[in-house]
Structure 1
């Protein structure tokens, strides 16, 4: 219909711009551009400041947790000698490096500290015949379990959580920046539509 204002079209994509263009004065720079520049800088500084703090705090908390776990495991687990009740499966590549690392589940029998005979399942090297003795870690209930955490395991797990904390802070900063940029883009498009609604009638003539 004559006299109707055509719908606003989004502005064309920006041409390549020099680095730090938002910091330079120019007639096309918007207040949202300046705000985005300061926001990006602020988030970067916040991430750089928070990441080391989060890393240290998480690493310390994880270390204390795993040290407590290791102490509890040392008090509630013990190593004993057990006898294999059945032949362990043979590895398809005898004598290989893979065979040395492979373990198969096997049934073993052992005597607890209380003098009771118990049977449980644990991981044993391949090819062992029934009657061979193996060393196993068991709980106070007589169940096979893993040995207590070592210092190296405590250290590596603590460092793993510290790394996750640092990455988490960085991802949080990146997500906050992405959401802010999206909001600013919507604001810019809304301002563009408003400006077009005021300008388009001057360019349209009744037919």
Structure 2
């Protein structure tokens, strides 16, 4: 196991007579990659998070619940009269009126065995199309935070990986230069004077 001395902060920028130009380039590359990683991740994450939250807030404002009625008997058997619903719902055809008065039909989830004409609450967009129930404010915050975090990590990964690849190439180049110098000066060390 190799001995490593105490960690020296900012060693890449300290004066050193053995420091080469490639070492300085690598130091600035590492700093730039880390800065770009942090900035890209934070900006992308915040931007996407705000966009998702705004979109979900707009849905809460624009989407409305309307009462629709079953046009036919729903498949399945009705729930037991014990008052406890099983939680299972089935798809059935429903009809509702849009805000402009036009009639629409579509498929909605209803209790099994519901009879024709049973009222069902559905959600529609401004054009009267069926949509899912909009997310609550708390759900929207959670969804936007998770989406922003995921996109932020993804955006931060690109400059981070790019910096690692570039640093690896610099490392290989530096090792090739060392090999060339060693091949040139190594044989001279074996000679004795006298």
TM-score by structure 1 length? Answer: 0.60
SS of the residue aligned with 2:150? helix
Distance (whole Å) between structure 2 residues aligned to residue 98 and residue 18 of structure 1:
69
Deviation of the 1:50 alpha carbon? 5.2
How far apart are 1:178 and its partner, in Å? 0.9
Task: Please tell me the root mean square deviation across aligned C-alpha atoms, in Å.
Answer: 4.2
Name the structure 1 match of 2:72.
Answer: 85
Instruction: Determine if contact 1:86/1:130 at 8 Å carries over to the other structure.
Output: yes
SS of structure 2 residue aligned to 1:135: strand
Contact 1:136 1:144 in 2 (8 A): yes
Q: Distance in 2 between matches of 1:66 and 1:153?
A: 9
Matches within 5 A, 1:1-207: 15=2, 17-18=4-5, 20=7, 23=11, 32-33=22-23, 35-48=25-38, 51-71=41-61, 73-74=62-63, 77-83=64-70, 85-89=72-76, 99-100=86-87, 102-111=88-97, 118-125=104-111, 127-131=112-116, 132-139=118-125, 143-199=129-185
TM-score, structure 2 length as denominator? 0.63
Q: Which residue of 1 aligns with 2:192?
A: none
In structure 2, stretches of 5+ residues that fail to align are 190-194
Describe the superposition over 1:29-79 as per-residue Cα deviations: whole angstroms up to 9, x where unpaired: 7654555455434533454455444443443343334434444x33xx541
Distance 1:47 1:129 in 2: 56
**Structure 1: any 5+ residue segments left out of the alignment?**
1-13
Shift of 1:163: 1.2
Q: Given the superposition, is the C-alpha separation of residues 66 and 114 from structure 1 closer, same or farther in structure 2, using an over 3 Å criterion?
A: closer
> Against the structure 1 CA distance between its residues 55 and 20, is the aligned structure 2 distance closer, same or farther, given a 3 Å change threshold?
same
The CA distance in 1 between the partners of 2:74 and 2:167, in whole Å, is: 65
